[in-house]
Chain A
Amino acid sequence: MVAFIVRRVIAAVLMLAVVSAATFAIFFLIPRALGQTPEGMASRYVGRDATPEAIQGAVKRLHLDDPLIVQYGRFAKGIVAGEDYSLGPRKAECPAPCFGYSFNNNQPVWPTLLDRLPATMSLAAGAAILWLIAGVSIGIVSALRRGTALDRAAMTVALAGVSLPIYFTGLVSLSVFAYTLGIFPGGGTYTGISENPVAWFQALVLPWITLAFLYAALYARLTRAGMLETMGEDYIRTARAKGLKESTVVTKHALRATLTPILTIFGLDVGLLLGGAVLTESTFSIPGVGKLVIDAIRGNDLPVVLGVTMFAAFFIVLANLIVDILYAVVDPRVRLS
């Protein structure tokens, strides 16, 4: 078991290295390949009508004229060991993990990211609880009552749910529940939980429901399909044949097999969301990681974009790792391969 975990952790670290290199290449290599010069890249960060000297200064300061491999080495070293930056006249120490400084406000990227994380986590956690409970139970009931009006109604709603863009659902719910009926506060009213838990809760109800609706629909479909497949297995027939109660067959035999893959997907989905629920956060103006990256892109703030992308990749890889290890705990066959 220990050997298995060590192997998976090494694989995860390697994966992060590959992802970071690819991310870096895409941000720096592709613009270069498309004909962007170091001066051209630098000019995006010093303003439209900067003098050639100012642009040259920016090129030097950001080391944009170094070979890309050297630039990547500096970037990777910053993440692992931290780095000293020269910001104009003063020197700044950037402790690990250093993702550099925002081009727009000269703030270090890492603390900004951490600052935005609670909002994203609040959104993801609340929605995840909602969609897991709602989606899985609807899926199970649908599968057990296959072909009934209830099943058909639930699956129609679920199909509609996965076909609705989340920002459209969000806008409609804002328009109906916040502005017309006035039951919930509108967008942009997020408050930290430590400041005012009641306001925090109220501001998040609509985003939670909106985000959870999409995923609940997805999970209801997945759970139903998995459950139907499991209920057709031979061992379910065996369990019934030996005279077990139907409720025991469902809970003890069928549910376990159905839920394992669902929980895998659940882990990965939550990991993905922690890297920023970009669409939900921008629809409801929640100051989370996703909103940060959208604002950074509008402001051409490359270090922030790069930082958030790496941050999100980290969560995906971490979620993968946790799911793999949990799988090995649940299913001993996995460890052998």
Chain B
Amino acid sequence: MTTPLDVSGQAMEAQPEAVLQGTGGKAIEGRSLGQIAWTRLKRDKAAVAGAVVVVFLVLVAIFAERPFGGLIALFGDPPNIPNNDLIDPMTSAPTAAFGGISLEHPFGLEPVNGRDIFARILSGAQISLLVAFLATLVSVVIGALLGVLAGYFGGWIDTVISRLMDVFLAFPLLLFAIAIVGALPDQALGMKGNALRIAVIVFIIGFFSWPYIARIVRGQTLSLREREFVDAARSLGASNGYIIFREVFPNLVAPILVYSTLLIPTNIMFEASLSFLGVGVNEPQASWGGMLTRAVDYYQIAPHFMIVPGLAIFITVMAFNLLGDGLRDALDPRAR
């Protein structure tokens, strides 16, 4: 099929990872895990599609309102301005056909008050992604740290951290979150209103989902601890801190990356569920889940108001899942 000297494409797969210089006349570079993963990821069409959508959504959220009013100003009204003149006062539905979908209002109008759904979807995207990213960051920091400690030191440290994980996993998280957010005062910790709510939601989601990351990191650390390079570092007199952060941790980056990518869609769903149950951010700030709650009452007269935010959640979550699945397949040593 190809000559032995042709080192591109498929033939590369069959080559050993590194060939000593001079043996074949031509040097063949060894490939790092990152390079292998990148090649595999690029070949996975679904993962690439997911990544493209994720990048697109993040850009949309960043440029939704700035600069100069951003995408919202480009395509419609500000998110919180009612358009009562475009609403039929008898039915509360938009007067125009198809829920008022037009060039000025690409996703139509909200029933009753006629707010621009496009602007509200974009505004909701900011909340959704902000909460999901920050909460994931919180659980990754806690989970990676505790997981590596439990796996590396073992003994009573492992016992304490593992039991702690059991306790956290025994909490009915959704019930807890709605109870805490529902009981929040309007002002606390120097914050108020939605800023406080967002901070508390981020904290709850992050603080209760760290065991998922910790379990994986602990398992990986348990096996890494027994590897030769750790023994080598120890015999050279390296401290525990050096071994954990310079020897073990770089090997944990891949699983942490995979599982945090897969945690983001879970957190997006979680934020949307809280908003749907009425304990997310407060009106008039838009949120995808909150829009669906309002859609419950109007889906017979304004089905677009249910479909648009539902699809927004679906597409976002699906894109992150595709990317996460692809990353896992690309980085998982077992799949190779």
Choice from A30, A159, A302 contacting B318 with Cβ under 8 Å? A159
Instruction: Report the bound CA distance from A162 to B319 in whole Å.
Output: 12
A288 contacts across to B, CB distance below 8 A? none
Chain A residues, CB < 8 A from B171: 19, 22-23, 313, 316
Q: 5 shortest A-B CB distances, which residue pairs?
A: A168-B310, A312-B172, A34-B188, A163-B318, A297-B182
B178 close to A165 (CB less than 8 A): no
Interface size on B (CB < 8 Å)? Answer: 43
Shortest Cβ gap from B23 to chain A (Å): 34
Distance from B314 Cβ to chain A, minimum over Cβ atoms (Å): 5
Instruction: Known contacts A162-B321, A309-B172; decide if A279 and B314 are in contact (CB<8 Å).
Output: no
Contact of A175 among B269, B276, B289, B299 (CB under 8 A): B299
Residues of A within 8 A of B (CB): 15, 18-19, 22-23, 26-27, 30-31, 34-36, 40, 159-160, 162-165, 167-168, 171-172, 174-175, 179, 229, 272, 275-276, 278-279, 282-283, 293-294, 297-298, 300, 302, 305-306, 308-309, 312-313, 316-317, 320
Q: Is the CB of A316 within 8 A of B277?
A: no
Q: What would 17 more interface pairs be, CB under 8 Å, given A167-B292, A297-B279, A312-B172?
A: A34-B188, A40-B185, A159-B322, A160-B318, A163-B314, A164-B310, A168-B314, A172-B306, A175-B306, A294-B277, A294-B278, A297-B182, A300-B182, A305-B183, A308-B175, A312-B175, A313-B171
Q: In the bound complex, do residue A278 and residue B300 qualify as a contact, i.e. CB atoms below 8 Å apart?
A: no
Kindly provide the distance from the CB of A88 to the nearest chain B CB, expressed in whole angstroms: 24
A22 contact set on B, CB distance < 8 A? 167, 171
In the complex, B273 has a CB within 8 A of chain A: yes
Known contacts A36-B185, A168-B314, A278-B174; decide if A163 and B303 are in contact (CB<8 Å).
Answer: no
Q: CA–CA, A164 to B17, complex, Å?
A: 41
A247 to chain B, nearest CB (A): 27
A34 touches B182 (CB 8 A): no
Q: Closest B residue to A268 by CB, please name it.
A: B169
- When the two chains form the complex, which single residue of B175, B185, B321 contacts A276, counting CB atoms closer than 8 Å? B175
A and B contact pairs by CB, cutoff 8 A, 22 listed: A18-B167, A19-B170, A31-B183, A34-B184, A34-B189, A36-B185, A163-B318, A164-B310, A164-B314, A167-B273, A168-B310, A172-B307, A175-B299, A279-B174, A279-B277, A293-B175, A297-B178, A298-B182, A305-B175, A305-B179, A305-B182, A309-B176
With the chains together, A240 CA to B137 CA distance in Å? 46
| In the complex, residue of chain A having the shortest beta-carbon distance to the beta carbon of B279 | A297
Given A27-B183, A31-B183, decide whether A163 and B178 contact each other with a Cβ distance below 8 A. Answer: no
* CB-defined contacts of B256 to chain A, threshold 8 Å: none
| Interfacial chain A residues near B175, Cβ < 8 Å | 275-276, 278, 293, 305, 308-309, 312
Residues of chain B within 8 A (CB-CB) of A36 are: 185
For B167, the chain A residues whose CB sits under 8 A away are 15, 18-19, 22
* B295 contacts A309, C-beta separation under 8 Å: no
Q: Is residue B143 contacting chain A, with contact meaning CB distance below 8 A?
A: no
Closest residue to A187 on the B side, CB-wise? B296
